[in-house]
Each structure stands twice: as C-alpha cells, then as structure tokens.
Chains A and B, each alone.
Chain A
Amino acid sequence: MFTKLVSPSTRRALLAAAALSAVVGSVHAQATDTLKKIKDSGSVTMGVRESSGALSYTLGDGKYVGYHIEICEKVLSDVRKQLGLSSLAVKYQPVTSQNRIPLVQNGTVDIECGSTTNNATRQKDVAFAVTTYVEEVRIAVKANSGITSIAQLAGKTIATTTGTTSVQTLRKHERATGVDFKELFGKDHADSFLLLESGRADAFVMDGQILAGNISKAKNPADFKIVGEVLSVEPIAIMIRKDDPAFKKAVDDSIKAMMKSGDIAKLYDKWFLQPIPPANTKVGLPLSEATKAAWANPNDKPMEDYAKK
C-alpha cells in the first residue's frame, strides 16, 4: 500500500535510479541529530508524494497538501517552538515509493509525510512516528455485479496496481483459500480503476481510501461500491531517520498531543469526509475502528503485529 502514485513509469524509474546512486554513495550517513541539523540550518526538508490519495498529494505549482502533510506542518511548527527558532523554512521534496527510504537515510529528506506502511523490513532502515492512519485493503466492484465477498471472485478477473502490497495480499489470499482468480496489473491506480470501469476486470483490490477516492471521481460514483471483508490491515505512518531518539520524541509528542486534543480527528474529517481540492470532491471514507484504536493507544507497531490479531 505504499505506492499510491500516479506518476509516469519512466520518471519513477529515473528517480529510482537517482535514489539508488544516492544511497550507494552515502550509506554511512552522518551521525543523526536531526534537531541539531534543523537548528543549525534554520530549515527542514519534508518528503511529500505527488499522488497518495488524500494523505499526500500535489495541487501543482509546487504546492503539496493532504492529511499527512498538514499533520507534519503542525509537528514542524511544534519543533520550531521547541528549538526556540523564530522562523523555520520548510522545503518540500517529492518522493516516490522507490526512493523515499534512501532519501530519508541519506539526509535529503528529514521527515517523510506520504503514505508509507510501517513494516518490520523497513524498520531495519528507518524509524516511524506513531501510526496516524490505518489502511484497510478492500474490494471495489460495479454496484450491479452482485459480488459481495472475495469468495465470489473465483474465476473472475481482479485488477490491482503494480508496485503495491495489494498484489502480495491477493497472492496470499489465493494461496490460503485456494480461490483462483486472474490478476490484471494496472500501471497506476487510475489505470486499475479504468480496468474495472471498462469491464476488463470484475473487481479492483486496493487500499480503502484509494478506492473511495477513485469512485468519488468517477463519472457516476453510484455505479461502484466497496464490498467484502478487509483483506489486509496496514499502519501508515510518518517516516524519519533511524537512531535519532530526540527527533522521534519531538515528532511523537506533537502527534500524541494532537490525538489527545482531538485535532487529529478534525484533520481526518477535513481530508476524508469534506470536499477537498482541487476538484472539491469528497473521499467519503468514514473513520475506521482500526484508526480510532491507533489514536487511542499511540504506537509505532509494524504491520506484522496487526496481522497477528
């Protein structure tokens, strides 16, 4: 569920190549003290996504908005106060799912506010703030298809997007249940949704917020619905450098304060339930129990811990 991008594949490849060369050059990163770096330079670099649903996306002209970006802006303003700086320049650096981890590791990006799943593999390379959003992988179908659960998808064609964990989720399901289906891989979410819309696929399996967002932007949103069981649960969090306890505490404390004060619920309402720019459409994804639980007990547990439950 990490790749909520709708960027041309070539650019993705280029960025990946750039990131690869960057990480090869500087794996032995400088000792990490992000707070000191911010204080000395008076600036901080925020990693953002071009198109990660309502979590993090661009309006063009170098403007980035979204639920996670607004949380990060709040966090950085708290950091500024903590450091006693009168002003703090925030630079926005677009990242992709391929280059975001190398860019955080090598210091190009100080805080990544996109849609990164917190999992055990990644925790070896980077650290995560407390989980701010819990994503659920769901199934979108045509409203008149009569499909209501994954069991009914036997022998049907399912679309999902290349470069997402949903591909893996589907594979695991196929193996575990013995239900056999054909998979079609869209090159991005818009493409996968087109496969569903044009009838080439009977279902589109993806993160709930991506499905809801695509449906809300469809020509006739009533033609589609999200059905069936939750296929996978993934905690999405803000990503920072590993082994930097002071910065992690500053970020966590700021987010926890938002959770306590209810500010985070207001932000959720703003980005997921109210009309959002640029087209003033609603994502229309009600707050899930899983996200509510993450706010009630702030934690940075990886995805694997959710699967155990």
Chain B
Amino acid sequence: MATWDWEVFCKDTIEQQVAPRCFGAKGDVTYLDWLLSAWGWTLSVSVLALIVALLVGSLMGILRTTPSKALVAFGNAWTELFRNIPLLVQIFLWYHVLPTLVPPLRAVPSFLLVVVGLGFFTSARVAEQVRAGIQSLPKGQRYAGLAMGLTLPQTYRYVILPMAFRIVIPPLTSESMNIVKNSSVAFAVSVAELTQFAMQAQEETSRGIEVYLAVTGLYFVSAFAINRIAKLIEGWIRVPGVAGGGR
C-alpha cells in the first residue's frame, strides 16, 4: 500500500510548513482552508444553478403542455437548444463568445455566468421531466378542472401541478445531484472550486492521491446530502393513494 500523508492538508500554501492547528493563522492559508473555500464555491454554484434550473425548467415544462402552439414551440425550442449543446461548450459560449457580442456582459463575474450557464443547461432536462410528469396525468384531470370553471392557470395551480410535481420528484432528485457533479465545469472559467483545487493542490504538494480522495469525498457528501433532502421533501408532501404517494 502507498504511504498516506494526510498532514499535507495542514501545510500552508506558501512555505509548505505544517500549521499547528491545521487552519492558517494571521493571513496564512493552509490547504485545508483552501479545500473548504473551494467546497464553498462548489456548493454556491450548485445551489444557485439548481434554483435557476428548477424555476426556468418548471416554467418551460409547463409551457410545453399548454394549448397555445406558440408557447409549446418556445418551450420545445428552449429545451432542444440547451439539451443538444455540450455543457462545457455552453459555458465557453457564455464566457468567451457572448461577451464579445454583448460588451456589458464582460463586467459580469464568471461565477454568475456559470450559474446561469449550468442552470439553463439543467433547466432543459428539468423541463423534459416536468412535461413528462404533466403528460402522465389522464387528460380528464385537465378537462375536469376547466369544466368546473377554473381558468387554465388555476387548473394548473390546483389540479395538474400538485400531482405532476409529486410524480417527478425522483427524476428531479437525480438532476439535482447531477448539478453538483456538473459544477466542476466552473473550473474551466476560473471559479476556484473543488476541481480547480484538486488540479492545483496535487501539483503543488505532489500528494495527488490524498487530494483527489478528499475532493471525491466532498463531491459524494454534497450530492448525497441533496439526495437525502429530496427524500425528506418526498416524504413530507406524500399524499396516500395518489400516484407515487402510497406506500
């Protein structure tokens, strides 16, 4: 077996000396400090992108099931646009190409561009799942709502969406976990997140195994935490006797 050297995380990033309490003092930064800050960036990118993805994705998914041909076409176009371009390419488009076309975008920090880029990419996938969820309901539900005198928005709000969202929670959980892993593309546009930390720290310390194991662990913990939270939400909103609800 290889010999482990976990002390590497206690070293400061300038003199490579082991800090007494593993956290840097007086402006010193240890690899542990850096690792935690990198984790913070990963989580920030993931959570904000997830919010963007769920909001935009739900909206697009709903549009694709409305009776209006124009709205359906718009939702379809959105989904296909963001679903058919590789994520990394999209991030580069946001970072390098769009700012040359729209100069004010130059001032936007790369962090926000990644949140939007990753959020829109995932929104296409969310839209597809929300659409599938809505269409899995019998058509009679919609007609019943409208026949009772509800407007179309009211039908969605009170009849269709409460059922559809409960059905699509499991696939949405997968998407939410994917977003944590996909956030590693932020490294390509200079966000100092976990992947960037791994590449740089392993080079500086020559302890690649320890660095990659720690980063792997944090990705796993982050994605698994989202999984558990989604499980909790699934439990809270369960309606016995409804699709996906009875157990």
Contact = CB atoms under 8 A, between A and B. Distances in A.
B1 A24 contact: yes
Interface residues of A, number: 37
B203 A185 contact: no
Contacts of A200: 106
B98 to A, nearest CB: 12
B195 interface: yes
Contacts of A184: 190
Mostly, the B contact residues are helix
A191 interface: yes
A162 B100 contact: no
Nearest to B203: A163
Contacts of A23: 2, 209
A176 B203 CA distance: 22
B44 interface: no
A122 B14 contact: no
A20 B2 CA distance: 10
Contacts of B183: none
Nearest to A23: B2
A27 B209 CA distance: 13
A131 interface: no
A159 to B, nearest CB: 8
B203 A165 contact: yes
A220 interface: no
A58 interface: no
A186 B1 CA distance: 35
B14 A171 contact: yes
Nearest to A12: B199
A169 B235 CA distance: 52
B212 interface: yes
B202 interface: yes
Given A9-B195, A171-B14, A185-B192, A163 B200 contact: yes
Interface of A: 2-3, 9, 12-13, 16-17, 19-20, 23-24, 27, 97-98, 101, 121-122, 125, 162-165, 167-168, 171-172, 175, 184-187, 191, 194-195, 198-200
Q: Which 5 pairs show the lowest CB-CB distances between chains A and B?
A: A163-B199, A184-B190, A187-B188, A163-B203, A185-B190
Given A16-B202, A125-B206, A191-B188, 10 more contacts: A16-B208, A20-B212, A98-B203, A98-B208, A121-B206, A162-B199, A165-B203, A165-B204, A184-B190, A185-B196
